[in-house]
Amino acid sequence: MALNQATAHELSTRLQQGEITARQLVEAAIDRIGAVDGQINAFISIDPEGALAHADDIDQRRAAGAVLGPLAGIPLALKDVLCVRGGHTTCGSKILEHFIAPYDATVVEWLRDADAVFIGKTNMDEFAMGSSCENSYFGPTLNPHDPERVPGGSSGGSAAAVAADETILALGSDTGGSVRQPASYCGVVGLKPTYGRVSRYGLIAYASSLDQIGPVTKDVEDAVLLLQAIAGHDPRDSTSSTAPVPDYRAALKGNVRGLRVGLAREHFPAALDAEVAGAAQDAANALVDAGAELVDVELPVAGHPEYCISTYYIIAMAEASANLARYDGVKYGYSAEGSTDLQEMYLHTRSEGFGTEVKRRIMLGAYALSAGYYDAYYRKAQQVRTLIREDFARAFAACDVLISPVAPTVAFRLGEQLDDPLQMYLNDIYTASVNLAGIPAISVPFAQSHGDLPIGVQLLAPPLKEARLLRTAHALERAAA
Ligand code: GLN
């Protein structure tokens, strides 16, 4: 098997034993990017010189007998929403096209300490707003399984890069499904940790009460390795959890005997795509074969798209309208020229710098927060959010993990939903409720459609139960193999 097709856990063992070098791994990734990325467009920028220099440093330290970090020499791609000091961080937007981050995100700092090698920054929907990766100022990313289809979004570049073997590991961010849905569309693993488990410091904010950074990997064991490196308390993020980080690797040794797996009727409406429904049901049965037990649960609010999608989009857009106020042409990035006064400069900067979807959301979010509408929309959405959280808490009293589809369909065609925002938003029916509740969830590749497109299955767990989630995901992955 070519080096760029292997997993991080396989490669790191071989590297630590001196069978391969970090330079070979980085060269394999760069060659692969050179060969396929012209078509896939998974990367916004790559850093071959920096990555090779880092690889050489790791190889020299290994030769000198130094103890290396757990991800030593492994190529890793970062979604371009994460700040890397001295490097471009565009967020997929014209407004940040030339922005150079003045500091490292905490995850970037910790991954550097783990000796991972940053290979480049991946494409994304502008400001992480989208489900198809078509809202990028830098052009769409294509699905490596079918170039006429989207890779999912907003972390479509990260999922496509891992699926196309352009990188071994990647990070994405997930506000309403942006790690899990592209992982499902591209046939890779995508994990959204519990809100607060991974520091958001240096992650450019979209909706701060929902955003979470997560691993995009080729298998569950790699997701474990990557989560282990990025999970933990960070005083620079006031919402960061102080709960101790367990040894997630121990989870891989467990099994699912006696585990109660919950299925919610609301997740399987009659109109659901038969292959998508079948994959989740087959996955549940595979867990039963491995010793788990199925239980029926109810999600009367969290399981209903009309509550979840409206609640999610009101809250996400409201927070986005506040977070994106900082892009005013003065503090960051693009600044329109030729204006005669400050108001005009703001107007032109934001009109020219933001794309259509971002502007739509800023306007809708500002509307939902404005006097007279706040109670009807924003406050109501917060109340429904509480009901959604309570729904999950009740379900998890009866089961240990939940299983559901990741998205209502397989990867759709480029352009197919671009003119119908509501249709695009409905992609998130299974994923957005997870962010509203703050719980962890993972997308595991499980089946293939008749058209040979990947179908993932989602597992959900109570807050901070990542070890249980990963143990179940590992069992599911073995069943799928
Ligand atoms: N599709 C959702 C949105 O556009 C989720 C995006 C995300 O998780 N960043 O808001």
- Pair 215, 190: CB distance under 8 Å: yes
Output the CA 177–ligand 1 centroid distance in Å. 6
Each residue of 248-302: pLDDT tens digit? 999 899 899 999 999 999 999 999 999 999 999 999 999 999 999 999 999 999 9
**The ligand 1 atom nearest the CA atom of 130:** 4
Q: Which tokens belong to 308?
A: 């979840």
Which pLDDT does position 172 carry in this prediction?
Answer: 98
- Which amino acid is it at 127? F
Helix (H, G, I), strand (E, B) or coil at 254: coil
Which pLDDT does position 332 carry in this prediction?
Answer: 87
Which pLDDT does position 403 carry in this prediction?
Answer: 98
Is there an atom of ligand 1 within 6 Å of 175 CB?
yes
412 Cβ neighbours under 8 A, 6+ residues apart: 132, 149, 150
CA distance 342 to 451: 54
How far CA 190 is from CA of 198, 343, 376, 432, in Å, comes to 15, 42, 35, 14
Which pLDDT does position 299 carry in this prediction?
Answer: 98
CA distance 106 to 344: 36
Most ligand 1 atoms within 8 A of CB, residue of 79, 93, 131 to mutate: 131
CA distance 297 to 268: 12
DSSP states of 345-383: HHHHHHHHHS-HHHHHHHHHHHHHHSTTTIIIIIIHHHH
Is there an atom of ligand 1 within 6 Å of 431 CB?
no
Closest CA to 164 of 187, 140, 131, 134: 187
Task: Report, as ranges of residue numbers, the positions in the chain whose pLDDT lies below 70.
Answer: none
Is there an atom of ligand 1 within 6 Å of 131 CB?
yes
Output the CA 472–ligand 1 centroid distance in Å. 25
Which pLDDT does position 68 carry in this prediction?
Answer: 96
Is there an atom of ligand 1 within 6 Å of 183 CB?
no
DSSP states of 119-154: EEEE--SGGG--SSS-S-TT-PPPBTTBTTB---SS
Which pLDDT does position 481 carry in this prediction?
Answer: 82
Closest CA to 252 of 223, 212, 292, 281: 223
Each residue of 176-221: pLDDT tens digit? 999 999 999 999 999 999 999 999 999 999 999 999 999 999 999 9
Beta strands in 206-343 (DSSP E): 212-217, 260-264, 293-297
Phi, psi of 26 (to 5 degrees): -70, -40
Output the CA 268–ligand 1 centroid distance in Å. 22
Taking residue 140's Cβ as centre, other Cβ atoms within 10 Å add up to: 22
Is there an atom of ligand 1 within 6 Å of 128 CB?
yes
Taking residue 359's Cβ as centre, other Cβ atoms within 10 Å add up to: 15
With 0-12 / 13-18 / 19 or more C-beta atoms within 10 angstroms meaning exposed / middle / buried, residue 85 is middle
Output the CA 116–ligand 1 centroid distance in Å. 27
Which pLDDT does position 1 carry in this prediction?
Answer: 83
Look at ligand 1, atom 10, and give the residue with the nearest C-alpha: 129
Output the CA 157–ligand 1 centroid distance in Å. 14
Which pLDDT does position 319 carry in this prediction?
Answer: 98
Is there an atom of ligand 1 within 6 Å of 316 CB?
yes
Is there an atom of ligand 1 within 6 Å of 174 CB?
yes
Helix (H, G, I), strand (E, B) or coil at 405: strand
Enumerate the active-site residues. 79, 154, 178
